[in-house]
Amino acid sequence: MSGVSGYSSFRHLADALFLQPSTLMTEFSAYFDDSGKSDQGSVLVVAGYIATVDQWKSYDKKWGLVLDCYNVEYFQSRQFIHSTEQFEKWKGDETKRLSFIKTLISITTEYVLHGFSCGVSLADWERVNAIYSLEECHYLPFALCGWHCIKEAQQWSDAQIEHRDNGIEFVFESGSQHAGKLFTLSNTNLGIIPIFRNKRDPNNKMKRGPKKLDTPLQSSDFAAWQFGRHFERLHDISSESALNNSLQAIYPYRRKDLIPLLERVTYEHYLYAFDDLLSLCHEQGISRRS
């Protein structure tokens, strides 16, 4: 395994444009995944991280070594949390599970520079969409959250004065619901074309490495799950309690072991509720339904 596949996806885009990667001013890559569906649950979330291409290369190498050590093809939060598929034999072995997830979190926090998460209350989105043309203007829940994360990552990059002239590639997990709407919204409103890649292969024919699976999307998968649970509880309890309770879904008695690791990374958070969605409609000139 050599290199990070996100870097390879950038090479693929450059080749498609008949450009050499060395001629393009890009230094950062941002990876995002989503948790939830627009027609299920109470909240949909997009979350992920930004780092330099070189940092992602180092991350990819260490992440792959850990997966190989534990004989895991790829990490997926849903499988891990419920001890299914690859993790079925781990059920009840909390020592192994805790060691595994702590190691992966440590790798993530060692190399990423910043985190981003955005959620939308699905009930509030439906209410506002009944008044304003959110759907027709491509602001469906996933597209809205992805668009917001792209904006936040771009603003974060612009604030890094020594890197302000360098671009970012934005990579999202492929197969997300309404990915086409995100592509249109980002391209039209921000002039940014997101890339869609795999964090896993449904046919189990792909391996990690260049032009294969994007391991950074696996960290984003965990971030999206984490903040999905976090945002679901924000309306009822404090932010600190929400974080503790989301971790409790993984380890009822050992969640305090994980919080110091997660707090090594700073995040930009945003949750779109009713008033926020109304403000969005006004700011973006989204028309009112007749």
Tens digits of per-residue pLDDT, 216-242?
999 999 999 888 877 877 654 344 444
Is residue 43 scored above 50 in pLDDT? yes
174 vs 200: CA distance, rounded Å: 10
154 vs 156: CA distance, rounded Å: 5
- Indicate the domain borders of the chain: 5-284
User: What pLDDT is recorded for position 283?
Assistant: 97
Parallel, antiparallel, or unpaired: how do β-strands 40-52 and 167-173 relate? Answer: unpaired
**Could you give the percent of the chain with pLDDT greater than 70?**
74
Is residue 247 scored above 50 in pLDDT? no
Tens digits of per-residue pLDDT, 65-119?
999 999 999 999 989 988 999 999 999 898 899 899 999 999 999 999 999 999 9
* Confidence band for 264, pLDDT divided at 50, 70 and 90: confident
List CB contacts of 266: < 8 A, sequence separation 6 or more.
Answer: 114, 115
Contact 55, 215 (CB under 8 A): no
Is residue 156 scored above 70 in pLDDT? yes
Q: How large is the angle between the packed helices 274-284 and 122-129, nearest 10 degrees? A: 40
The torsion angles phi and psi of 278, rounded to 5 degrees, stand at -60, -45
Mean pLDDT across 163-191? 86
The torsion angles phi and psi of 121, rounded to 5 degrees, stand at -70, 120
The pLDDT mean for the chain works out to 80
- pTM of the predicted protein model: 0.81
Tens digits of per-residue pLDDT, 114-151?
999 999 999 999 999 999 999 999 999 999 999 999 99
Contact 219, 112 (CB under 8 A): yes
Contact 45, 201 (CB under 8 A): no
